[in-house]
Amino acid sequence: MYWSGSRTARYLSWLSCGVTLLLVLAFAGRAAADDSLPHLREEFRKEPDPVKRAKQFHKLGNALIAEMRKQEEARNYDAIPPLFQEYYDGAKSVFDALMASGRDAEKSPKGFRELEMHLREAVHVLNDLVYAVPPEDRDPLRKQQMDIASMDERLVQVLFPRNPEKHQTPPSAPGAHPHD
């Protein structure tokens, strides 16, 4: 490869590339550490704002689901119910906080929308996890899974409260339009 410039310039160029690579790897490692389950749990636990909690629950919920799937693949079925309970408790706490906030979800959907989208995606995965555990352990998980599905339905109702059939524009009187 042909290089123009002095040997010092080439050395500085390679050094710059090396430092950049190290910084990228350091930040990538920190980002991975920040997405660890214990860190996500702590951040979620500390956050008092329901909107920010809803956004954080998306990350925490995905991490809990990933951990439950990991336990399922390892056939460690005893580890799934406590994780499922933690997921349910987190979703319920965010849902209750958003509903108690008094905010109109239709006009200000932040938090409501994030939680609804996450729950909509998670309901099917959670259903699969319920049926992965032994039959004698399914009933409590099934109840929680159904409660999560109900929360999702309720969020859709508060985000989109208008029934299109009830709010249709009445038909115009005959002859009201010039084209009639």
User: pLDDT, tens digit, for every residue of 31-88?
Assistant: 444 689 999 999 999 999 999 999 999 999 999 999 999 999 999 999 999 999 999 9
pLDDT at 33: 46
User: Higher-confidence residue: 161 or 180?
Assistant: 161
Q: Is the pLDDT of residue 6 over 90?
A: no
Q: Is the pLDDT of residue 156 over 60?
A: yes
pLDDT at 162: 76
- Between CA 72 and CA 58 the distance in angstroms is 21
Residue 45: closest CA among 34, 60, 31:
60
50 contacts 101 by C-beta, under 8 angstroms: yes
pLDDT confidence bin for 161, thresholds 50/70/90: confident
